[in-house]
Structure 1
Amino acid sequence: MFLKKITIKQEDKTYNYYKIVASYRDKDGKPKHRLIQNLGVMSEDDAERMKLILKAQQDSDLVLAKASDIVVTKHWLFLPIILLHSLWETYQYTIFSLIAY
């Protein structure tokens, strides 16, 4: 299943309609789409959310959660280590060249 976007232009306006469809092949082997649900007009943000929902529904490894549902119980302070590493990578040759002179 996937989200299919249908664009219709009427006069000077453009409308985007969305449908949930499933792909299949007919008896002759020609690929076709079977309508699962007609969703109608949606914003681009809502369409992206619907794509994520469909993807999560099909893949058992994906989990949808609200940011407010995620709780950090344990953390480590890696920022000082990453900063030192970044400084080392940036300036190591400069430091060695200054020491050599």
Structure 2
Amino acid sequence: MNSCVIEIVEILSDVAVAELRETIHIVTEGIQGPPGASGAGFVFSQPTPATEWVINHNLGFRPAVEIIDAGGNEVDAEVQHISVNQARVYFNAAIAGEARCV
């Protein structure tokens, strides 16, 4: 006959749980940062109809270019940024109007 001995040991331990809460109060605002970019833009005028416009905007970045013909209508055109200060606009037909660079 096989015998088996089972021993039961009871281990008691005390565990303390403390809830910690930290409240942060902001009493003053910090210093203001530097202002953002000026949002500079440039308007180029082309009074004589042409199939290619060269725009020297000198903005220092490659702006979005919106073309408006002499009648006030928005015109689709191919815009090529030559540099951060110059763009060329190509049209299928010669037009006059203005380019808004933003």
Q: TM-score range by the shorter chain?
A: under 0.3
Q: If the length of structure 1 is used for normalisation, what is the TM-score? A: 0.19
> Between Structure 1 and Structure 2, whose CA radius of gyration is higher?
2
Higher helix share: 1
